[in-house]
Amino acid sequence: MSDTRINLISQILRGIKSIKSRLLEALYGNRVDETRGAEIKAYGYYCDIKNICSAIYFNAGVIISSLVFLLASKESLELGKVFSTLALLAYIFNFSVTYSNYAVEALY
C-alpha cells in the first residue's frame, strides 16, 4: 500500500506542470487520499491483530491453567497439586500477572 502511494506521488511530482496546467489537482488529490485511506485501514487491521495476538501470548499461561483446572476433577484437587501445576505452567509459559494487565490494556 505504501509503495502504491509513493509511486503515485512520484508520478505527480514528475508531471506537476501538466497537472497544474490542466487543472487536475483535485483529481490527483482524491486519488492520493483514497490510496492513503486504504493504507491506514490495512495498518489498522495489522494493529488490531497484533494487539489480540499479544493479549493471547501474554495470557497463554493463565488461559491454559484455567482450562486445566476447569477440566480437572474437583474432588481430586489438593492445594499442593494446584500450586505445583501453576508453578509448572508459569515456568513453561513464563507468564506473569503483571503482563496480563498490559495485554488487556493493549486491546483498548
At 34-75, the pLDDT tens digits run 999 999 999 999 888 888 888 877 777 777 777 877 887 777
pLDDT digit string, tens, across residues 7-34 = 888 888 888 888 777 888 888 889 999 9
Give the model's pLDDT for residue 51: 86
Global confidence as pTM:
0.54
Give the model's pLDDT for residue 21: 79
The Cα–Cα gap between 96 and 98 comes to 5
108 DSSP assignment: -
Cell numbers standing for residue 80? 499442593
Q: Which residues neighbour 90 within 8 Å (Cβ) at sequence distance 6 or greater?
A: 61, 96
Torsion angle in degrees (nearest 10) through CA of 100, 60, 88, 78: 80
**Which residue in 40, 14, 19 sits closest to 29, CA to CA?**
19
**CB-based contact 98:62 (threshold 8 Å):** no
